[in-house]
Structure 1
Amino acid sequence: MSVQKVRVERKIGDSVLSFETGHIAKQAAGSVLVQYGDTVVLVAAASGTPRPGIDFFPLMCDYRERLAAAGKFPGGFLKREGRPSTKEILSSRLMDRPIRPLWPAGYKDEVQVQACVIASDLQNDGDVLAMIGGATALHISPLPFKGPLGSVRVGKVDGKLVAFPTADQLEESELDMIVSGSRDMVAMIEGFANEMPEDEMMEAIGFAHDAIREVIDLQEEFYKKVNPEKTPYQSPEDDGLLERLTDAYYSDFKAAQQTSGKQARAEAVRAVRDRAMADVIPDPNASDAVCVNRFKTVWHDLEEKVVRDLILAGTRPDGRDHNSLRAIHCETDLLPRVHGSALFQRGETQALITIALGTSRDEQRVDGLQDEYSKKFMLDYNFPSYSVGECRPIRGPGRREIGHGCLAERSVAPVLPSADDFPYTIRVISDITESNGSSSMASVCGATLGLMASGVPISNPVAGISVGLVQDGPDNWCLITDILGTEDHFGDMDFKIAGTQNGITGIQLDLKVTGVTNDIIRATLKQSREARIEILKKMLTTIPRPRREISPTAPRLLRTKISPDKIGALIGPGGKNIRGIQETTGAVIEVDDEGTVLVASSNKDSAQEAMRQVEACTATVQIGKIYDGTVSSIKEFGAFVEILPGRDGLVHISEMSGGYISSLDQVIAVGDAMKVLVIDVDEHDRVKLSRRKALEELGEEDPLAVEGEGGGDSEGGGDGEERPRRRRGGSGGGGGGGRGRGPRRSGGGRDRD
């Protein structure tokens, strides 16, 4: 790429969108700097010669965020970016999906589009700018890309639709949707909403398309200024093999495709294919033999023709009509010990759901360009190879699994209770144990069943369904509900829509054609709603509402709010208090800076006891209240009594008893129980206590005073002998059972001169 520096800009939404090329990455086939606000994304496209023997278009799209773009360092030991984050993987998929259909048939050159966020204002996300930049870089490159293609993010704040909403606006938005398209048609949708009705969703898509046209106007202005020289591409010539196979095997293939059952259908199709290959290639080593790879490619084209013809004629491979759902089966409580489990099966697609409930310690910490935050809800989607009867190495989740998991997670998230109402961290695992079409929507349905079975108080049940499209010309098209794997593969559209009875929570449109009209989108929304309501009815016959109690094996979470200045009292010196409560009860206690205290334990009684101790530890000392205390230390002038965990006060010797006490350590000991009344809390938060007044208010006899009064004759004289030491454990108004008694002011002691 060799052009002079070119820049164009236009205000779209609340900021200026600009494209610039000819300055950076000039050796790429096409490159562009896309800027919106103060967020800048560098996007570059390159191509290479096709790999021998491949039968697909090897497009690679990659999105990366440099943390230095926001003045940050990567966390961890290595201070550089490593493998892509979940956000980067999802953004890479967003770049890929609208671009992939816009290439000539048969084009198999290597194409790679790389996007890198190199500056960020933390308000305008780089993902949609990377999508715009990818299409723009390809549009001004020599490659045979069928652009232009625009993209926009749309929000809805205070009832008003907003193009390119900021991060702050999205916090308040009831919609977060990205739409891509050409001037006349929509090419891709990915969005999430708070139960948005279908007519409002359609309005938002139309609003997005208007903004897309503004982006395309800027792209075309940019294209004219760059004036790239496009490399012509000629699709491979037809060698007549497709016509030959169609004439000989179309009828047999059509009959095989209508075999009932996925595995049986595959066997029937394979038998026809093997017979055709033996007829067409009797001797693979012959000089004029048809190439095996060529045969497989053409046979795939024939299979596509057969499946599409059947659907357009009103007959689907499994015999259903266009609007019918496959048989649905729901179960809950399949597994022991787990906090919740469910099974959702629709036809030959099956999702096994497992629920885990945890505390805030189990939250997922997420770091990236934006400020670090934590997630209290996670949904993980797994697609093992056995679900489609294949063998494949077990590795980490791929892009598809991460994308499907995100779609299901964000489709269910709007109905979850707030952290104030349900403080648990929630993890949902969806294992796809069988697959034949739309396993992500099965995950949505299964997750709803599992959450209700585990006692999570969701506001509404969520279900999802995928609607397909087969189109032969602008006026000859049909929508098909609950698509099979073959219908997805050979059809033109996979439109997944999830929601409640009130409206849409998740929407995702993927196409194999260049775009669809608003009429098709509107009809799809209507047809999907009808199917969604039917699925919800079947789900609710299994479990009509969330259970009132969580699983007995789930941790019990109790929560209270304390004053932030009481946090220190709860924790205690060196963590003594909170550690002591945890050790004695077996519960886990968490406290945040705002004073919210969470107590977690697998045992309900343990959690309640820990909460009682927390409340006692952080309670405010009340003047005039009587407490059951414990003597913690003894001094000459009085005794310190612990009345709350970590909180003690002084009982002055004069407030110990109505009788005379010469030495406290002769009548009380550390550890003795004692009833005391709070008589004052001074300006230094020191607590003054009285045992004497506590007993008077309770109307109990003071054994120290009584014993002293009754110890001598009527004249107050004694016999001159010292009293024996009183054994510990004596009763009397919480006096604690002192060790002995000294002389009393009221008599009973030795005569004094």
Structure 2
Amino acid sequence: MVKTHKKEVQWAGRSLVFETGEFARQADGAVLVRYGGTSVLCVATAADKDGFDCGFLPLSVHYQEKAYAAGKIPGGFLKRESKPSDHEVLASRIIDRSIRPLFSSDFGREIQIICSVFSYSDDSDPVIAATIGASAAAMLSGIPFSGPACIARVGMKGSGGFMLNPSRESLEASQLDLTVAGTLDAVLMVESGAMELSDEDMLLAIEHGRSAFAPVIDAIGQLCKECSEHTDRKKSGKFASYYNRSKEQECCVSEDKVISAIDAESGRLSSVCDDNDKERRKALLKLIADDVFRSLGFSGEDGKSCGTEFEEARACFDKMFSERWKFFVRNRIVSEGKRIGGRGANDVRDIHSRVGLFERVHGSALFTRGGTQAVVVATLGSSKDAQMVDSLDGVRHETFLLHYNFPNFSVGEVGKVGPPGRREVGHGNLAWRALKSVLPSQEEFPYTVRLVSEITESDGSSSMATVCGAALAAMDAGVPLKRMVSGIAMGLIKEGGKVVVLSDISGDEDHLGDMDFKVAGTEKGITALQMDLKVSGISMDILRSAVKQANEGREFIMSEMKKVLSEPRKKISESAPRITTIKIPVDKIKDLIGAGGKNIKSLCEMGAEIDVSQDGVVKVFAASDDISKRVVERIRGTTVVPSVGDVFTGKVVGLVDFGAFVNFCGQQDGLVHVSEICDRRIDSPADVLTVGQEVVVKVVGFDKRGKIKLSIKQAKE
């Protein structure tokens, strides 16, 4: 007999249901979440054995969308799901970032959470259901987890009208797309894209989402109470060794002795802290660690130290040294106000930018801030270059692409070269959100725009360097951005009851700090925001302070960027393709295409790509202005319907006693009577015209057979 537990709550106008006990019973924790018409199975499992020590929490989260959830069969040659889409990767990151701070960092076992979408309805976001379900599954698993956590999505309509967990249709018309996760007391994660939203509206939106957590967290809590027997069994069984472990440090030298030896080197540690060079700091810090290690009697000459294998002793020492270095840096910041490199809390590192780096590309920029450097290249393409996205919502085509690459050499390392990982996809998406709202419409600028950021150096916040470099590269390519966009990464140190917010954090400050808070936007407002925490939440007061300080930093960075390029180029690069948009009558589309596509194929053979929409809008994509002009003339000649009063430029193709025949738009011919050639009387058209001569003509009427009557004389009036 299957024993199941179920909890239901009404949330944001829809029914939210948690079910456990029937599915995935061999997993440590499993919850089926039904929200509206969406169902997601969330499963949490940990390895059987302790000892997984990799320097970080060994948590992996996998969000999976199945095509059958929307009643679809996967497209393409393979009719099954394969590698994760970018959307699934981004969703996995959202879930991971929302719950990771709540796991015990000393739990030395690999943890895996899998969220599978079994049913999909566009009225309910499956990522919201998956994140809530992951929190509930972790609570039921017996894995040390200080939850539950909740997540909400917030949209905005009009002036300050917030929407909680809006439908996909409502979100498309929203000025804001914000996701916020946290507990009842604090915020854990924020991810947002916005249409230049003010600081205050962004903070109100975060608070609006956070205020909706209570009923969901209460429902998860009640479910866990009903299933406490299951959780207790895990704690006394599979995870008993963790909960009953000794708290003593297993090392051949006491922790106090190691700390005293490290503190004795405070002068050298301060010198390292003041050094601006990342690689030199790393080398000097290793020298200090080696000296302290030897001073404690760890010679390793005989392969052993204090009866312990040398490698084990060194690993134990390195862990303590790393923790003490972390404390030293953090304490120096909160007590002396001095950061790594000697900066103050609000200081931004030196900025250097250039544009127009390469001849053949359509636009390029170099953005360097401290030890972080991004080379960003812009490419303009046609509508055929748009990215097709096949999701549970259907197929769409994206005309703005931003890709981020992070090679190993950017941090002075050697490693595997392969396809982009989760980090690359996530950072690229954040920069994409930052620029999306300032791009021109397809009617204003009918190009597919691709920006590629190559990180050539990294020492903190390469994603924000990508935002700055991408804005400069796009403007260098002639993309008419509405406004300049800049970005900054903020950090946080909470130590001994003191709180310090840091502007423009370096890589070491990111590693040693408690927060990575990235804000991008224009002088008008915020366009993207992302926050990740290593502590179990921060208050809205701290968040408000961080947003204000970030705004000041963004303004400074933007002023430095504008010294290089303050507005988009008036013209696109000579090497960039040309797009000309014209409108033809809908009933002339068939004439443009021709029988069996013969006519449009001949136009393409002239060196152009042609895109024809059902409403008669024709886009001509050509490598040069000359090709574009010739193709457009041919199209107009095929599809134009001349009216009385229209003026055209044409060529004389024949002369007779009573007038001249003129061809215009490539495919149209008309007669200019001898009396309509010039103001004075002439005996013959040949007196003033020659075959092949270019003339401006005006349509003055049609004869009984529908032939066009033209006038050179009236075209001059």
TM-score (norm 2): 0.87
> Is the 2:262–2:324 contact (alpha carbons within 8 Å) kept by the matching residues of 1?
no
- In structure 2, stretches of 5+ residues that fail to align are 654-661, 671-696
Return the alpha-carbon distance in structure 1 between the equivalents of residues 570 and 299 of structure 2.
68
1:455 alignment partner in structure 2: 478
Aligned 8 A contact 1:105 1:235 in 2? no
Deviation at 1:223, TM superposition (A): 1.8
Q: Quick one: which of 451, 473, 481 aligns to 1:428?
A: 451
**Cα distance change of structure 1 residues 193 and 162 upon mapping to structure 2, 3 Å threshold:** same
> Which among 258, 263, 271 is matched to residue 245 of structure 1?
258
CA distance in 2, matches of 1:518, 1:328: 31
Query: Residue 231 of structure 2: which of 229, 232, 235 is its match?
Result: 229
Matched residues in 2 for 1:347 and 1:254: separation? 20
Equivalent residue, structure 1, for 2:689: none
Give SS of 1:402's match. Answer: helix
Q: Could you tell me whether the CA contact under 8 Å between 2:123 and 2:168 is conserved in 1?
A: yes
Matched, 1:359 2:382: yes
Deviation at residue 304 of structure 1 after TM alignment: 1.1
Unaligned runs of 5+ in 1: 632-640, 650-674, 682-687, 700-753
Measure how far apart 1:620 and its partner are.
Answer: 1.6
The answer for the alignment partner of 1:282 in structure 2 is: 299
Q: Is the 8 A contact 2:608 2:621 kept in 1?
A: yes
User: What secondary structure does 2:605 align onto?
Assistant: helix
Which whole-Å CA distance do the structure 1 matches of 2:51 and 2:88 have between them? 27
Q: Could you tell me whether the CA contact under 8 Å between 2:56 and 2:105 is conserved in 1?
A: no
Q: 1:285 to 1:609 in 2, by over 3 A?
A: same
Cross-structure match for 1:148: 148
SS of aligned partner of 1:515 = coil
Distance in 2 (alpha carbons) for counterparts of 1:428 and 1:203: 32
Spell out, residue by residue over 1:588-626, the C-alpha distance to the aligned partner (whole angstroms, 9 max, x if none). Answer: 221122221111112112212211221221112548999
CA RMSD, Structure 1 to Structure 2 (Å): 2.8
Cα pair 1:625 1:678 within 8 Å, conserved? no
The 3-state SS of whatever aligns with 2:342 is coil
Relative to structure 1, the CA distance from residue 608 to residue 319 in structure 2 (aligned partners, 3 Å threshold; closer, same or farther) is same
Q: How far is the alpha carbon of 1:225 from its aligned partner?
A: 2.5
Does residue 554 of structure 2 align to residue 532 of structure 1?
yes
Deviations along 1:26-60, one digit per CA (max 9) or x if unpaired, are: 11111111111101111111111245554432111
Amino acid at match of 1:301: E
Distance in 2 separating the partners of 1:630 and 1:573: 29
User: What does residue 194 of structure 1 align with?
Assistant: 195
Cα deviation for residue 293 of structure 1 reads: 2.1
Given that residues 381 and 405 in structure 1 are in contact (C-alpha distance below 8 angstroms), is that contact kept between their aligned partners in structure 2? Answer: yes
Q: Are residues 1:272 and 2:285 paired?
A: no
Secondary structure of the equivalent of 1:8? strand
Partner of 2:467: 444
Tell me the CA shift for residue 689 of structure 1.
Answer: 4.2
CA distance in 1, matches of 2:151, 2:75: 32
TM-score normalised according to structure 1 size? 0.83
Residue among 255, 265, 279 paired with 1:263: 279
Residue in 2 aligned with 1:548?
Answer: 570
- The one-letter amino acid of 2:588's match is K
Counterpart among 560, 566, 582 of residue 560 in structure 1? 582
Query: 1:378, 1:612 → 2: CA distance?
Result: 32
- SS where residue 62 of structure 2 aligns? strand
Following superposition, the deviation at residue 294 of structure 1 comes to 1.6
Q: Structure 1: how far apart are the matches of 2:550 and 2:362?
A: 32
1:477 aligns with 2:499: yes
1:614 aligns with: 635
User: Which one-letter code corresponds to 1:418 in the other structure?
Assistant: S
Partner of 1:220: 221
1:72 alignment partner in structure 2: 72
- The equivalent of 2:204 in structure 1 is 203
The answer as to whether partners of 1:178 and 1:190 remain within 8 angstroms in 2 is yes
Secondary structure of the structure 2 residue equivalent to 1:19: strand
| 1:736 counterpart residue number | none
What is the count of residue pairs matched by the alignment? Answer: 658
- Partners of 2:278 and 2:646 lie apart in 1 by 76
Contact 1:624 1:679 in 2 (8 A): no
Give the aligned partner of residue 657 of structure 2: none
Aligned to 2:614: 593
CA contact (8 A) 1:344 1:352 kept: yes
The residue type paired with residue 29 of structure 1 is D
Contact conserved, 1:245 with 1:302, CA < 8 A, in 2?
Answer: no
Is residue 64–residue 84 contact of structure 1 (8 Å, CA) maintained in 2? Answer: yes
Residue-by-residue CA offset, 1:643-667 (whole Å, 9 max, x unaligned): 8767899xxxxxxxxxxxxxxxxxx
> 2:563 & 2:122 partners in 1: Cα distance?
46
Distance in structure 1 (CA, Å) of the matches to 2:362 and 2:526: 28
Matched, 1:349 2:372: yes
Deviation (angstroms), 1:5 = 1.1
The answer to whether structure 1 residue 294 and structure 2 residue 310 are counterparts is no
Q: Which residue of 2 aligns with 1:654?
A: none
* TM-aligned CA deviation for residue 261 of structure 1: 1.2
Partner of 1:21: 20
**Aligned residue among 308, 312, 320 for 2:343:** 320
Contact residue 197 and residue 502 of structure 1 kept, 8 A: yes
User: 3-state SS of the aligned residue for 2:7?
Assistant: strand
Kept after mapping to 1: 8 A contact 2:471/2:484: yes
Partner of 1:163: 164
Distance 1:217 1:596 in 2: 55
622-631 vs 279-288, greater mean Cα deviation = 622-631
* CA distance in structure 2 between the aligned counterparts of 1:698 and 1:428, rounded to whole angstroms: 49
2:7·2:19 contact (CA, 8 Å) conserved in 1? Answer: yes
Amino acid in structure 2 at the alignment position of 1:43: C
In our comparison, the structure showing a higher alpha carbon Rg is 1
Counterpart CA distance in 1 for 2:101 and 2:213 is 18
How big is the shift at 1:145?
Answer: 1.0
Which letter maps to 2:430? L
292-301 or 435-444, which moves further after superposition? 292-301
**Alignment correspondent of 2:10:** 11
Whether the aligned pair in 1 keeps the contact of 2:187 and 2:539 (CA below 8 Å) is yes
Structure 1 stretch displaced more, 250-259 or 235-244: 235-244
Map of 1:111 onto structure 2? 111
